[in-house]
Amino acid sequence: MGKGAVFLDRDDTLIENVPYLGDPSLVKLMPGAMEAIKALRLSGFPLVIVSNQSGVGRGLITKEQVRSVDARMEELLGGRGIFTTYKHCYAAPGDPYDEHRKPSPLMLQEAAETHGFDLLQSYMVGNRLSDIQAGDRAGCKTILLHLRVPPDEEQESIRLASFTAKDWPSACDWLLQSKRADQ
């Protein structure tokens, strides 16, 4: 049995969402994200980004632009190599040929298979219902980061999440306490 990982949504979870962000100079961290990532890394958790980037599938940004935004985010969060891997679904919503798009658990399952993670010992952190559904369907504990939850998704997200955190410090505290309780 492998170790647990923390799967993280990107936009409005780690960085402020700018629709179809392709310019790394516009990357701004969400409040508390840097400190939380540092604490999670120190606790030994592998960190994995799982993000729908439909702007690529829509032809609005390129994969290279997504990678440059990811690189800037990583730099702001503490430097290269802090994330074990990135899993992006580049399909536009409704693409009938791509089943990786959250709420599908496939990005999490593929990362777990590649890196030997135990999904039952893992966590998914995000701000959207699709993040919580993906984590739940993969067998992870889920944390709804209640910073920028779309109003029409709020009630169902709260109902489905293992924990609802008002901010990054409370999300990180709950996650680290849960990890200790599971050991």
Residue 168, judged by CB atoms within 10 A of its CB (0-12, 13-18, 19+), counts as buried
9 is catalytic: yes
Query: Exactly one of 9, 12, 70, 131 is catalytic; which is it?
Result: 9
Decide: helix, strand or coil at residue 46. Answer: coil
Query: Exactly one of 11, 12, 70, 131 is catalytic; which is it?
Result: 11
11 is catalytic: yes
Rounded distance between C-alpha atoms, residue 58 and residue 65, angstroms: 14
Give the count of beta carbons closer than 10 Å to the beta carbon of residue 60: 14
Question: What type of residue sits at position 44?
Answer: G
Catalytic residues: 9, 11
